[in-house]
Amino acid sequence: MTQNDAGGSTPALRTDRLGRRYGREWGLRDCTLEVPAGVIAGLVGPNGAGKTTLLEMIIGLLQPTEGQLSVFGETSHAPMAARLARVGYVAQDHPLYRDFSVADMFHLGRAMNPSWDQQLALARMDALDIPLKRKVKSLSGGQRAQVSLTMALAKRAPLLVLDEPVSSLDPVARLEFMREVMAAAAGTGLTVIIASHVVSELERLCDWLIVLTGGQVQLAGPADDLIAAHRLLTVPRATPDAELPGLPIHRTDSDRHSTVLVRADPVRPAAQQRPGWQADPVGFEQLVMAYLQRPPKSAAHNDNAQAAARPGPSTKAVTR
């Protein structure tokens, strides 16, 4: 599904040094990203990392303090309705009107969205066995999540943005929700950006990865390329960082050995590897966790090194 990333087509999302300040604190800063159309992008970060800030700027609920943002070429200066039409949004905790019935919610969707697909909405409720007459407040958490997802899908927007859609759900409901997202995206060209701190849920779903900590982008690009560009090294404990083949991202020291996640670096090729060192491929979750544990300041420190290390167009989204 990443066939579009090198082509000239308009990216689903492009941000350039995007930032949002709350009072004195920056919720998100210097965020430069590109998400091509058609991918399912996982946005990972701890609570307070700026995920919701980024997503709310994408949908237009927040205005950037600085920088640029465009969704399928529509900038944040375009008329509100034009921007809103391009994004379907499932907010955290799936807000719905409690005293509305499911049918009322769809009536609202139809009244407020010119491109509303009522047939899709009804078919989904039928398939999920959610009665239309049921009031929202008497639905289960999983059903509410499904109604929210259905509202966002029936809007027929080319970009679907999901903010922590499963964090409030039980494991079965999580699985069902993710399955529905995947089914909806399959073969339709829909672009999905899904924010979560449940990394394991994203692994099966996402072909694009963005790691955000402390309001800054740590890692972004096609998931497979990112995994391929990293190695897990086991080296003697005393080995200094400078001797490692690649950029050390995260290091765990035990009694005799150190386990270091390194990023491939053309300046320091893997040929430097010495006998007795062990290099293993890294898993999705390991990779994400390593970047999540990296303090945001070290990202700023490594600015130039990272910029030089960009292996190709796929990681041009890596920010300072």
Q: Which residues bind other proteins (CB under 8 A)?
A: 56, 59-63, 79-81, 84-85, 87, 89, 91-93, 95-100, 104, 107-109, 111-115, 148, 151, 155
CB-nearer residue toward other proteins: 108 or 227:
108
Whether residue 109 contacts residue 150, with contact meaning beta carbons closer than 8 Å, is answered with no
Cβ count near 103 (within 10 Å): 15
Pairing mode, if any, of strands 278-281 and 216-222? Answer: unpaired
21, with CB counted inside 10 A (0-12, 13-18, 19+), is middle
In the complex, what is the shortest distance from the CB of residue 275 to other proteins, in angstroms, rounded to a whole number?
57
CB-nearer residue toward other proteins: 136 or 247:
136
In the complex, what is the shortest distance from the CB of residue 92 to other proteins, in angstroms, rounded to a whole number?
8
CB-nearer residue toward other proteins: 62 or 190:
62
CB-nearer residue toward other proteins: 20 or 250:
20
- How would you list the strands of the sheet with 230-236, edge to edge? 247-253, 257-263, 230-236, 278-281
In the complex, what is the shortest distance from the CB of residue 28 to other proteins, in angstroms, rounded to a whole number?
15
In the complex, what is the shortest distance from the CB of residue 90 to other proteins, in angstroms, rounded to a whole number?
9
In the complex, what is the shortest distance from the CB of residue 227 to other proteins, in angstroms, rounded to a whole number?
33
Rounded to an integer, what distance in angstroms lies between the CA atom of residue 104 and that of residue 97? 9
Pairing mode, if any, of strands 40-44 and 230-236? Answer: unpaired
CB-nearer residue toward other proteins: 79 or 276:
79
In the complex, what is the shortest distance from the CB of residue 135 to other proteins, in angstroms, rounded to a whole number?
13
CB-nearer residue toward other proteins: 62 or 212:
62
CB-nearer residue toward other proteins: 8 or 114:
114
CB-nearer residue toward other proteins: 2 or 65:
65
In the complex, what is the shortest distance from the CB of residue 133 to other proteins, in angstroms, rounded to a whole number?
15
In the complex, what is the shortest distance from the CB of residue 95 to other proteins, in angstroms, rounded to a whole number?
4
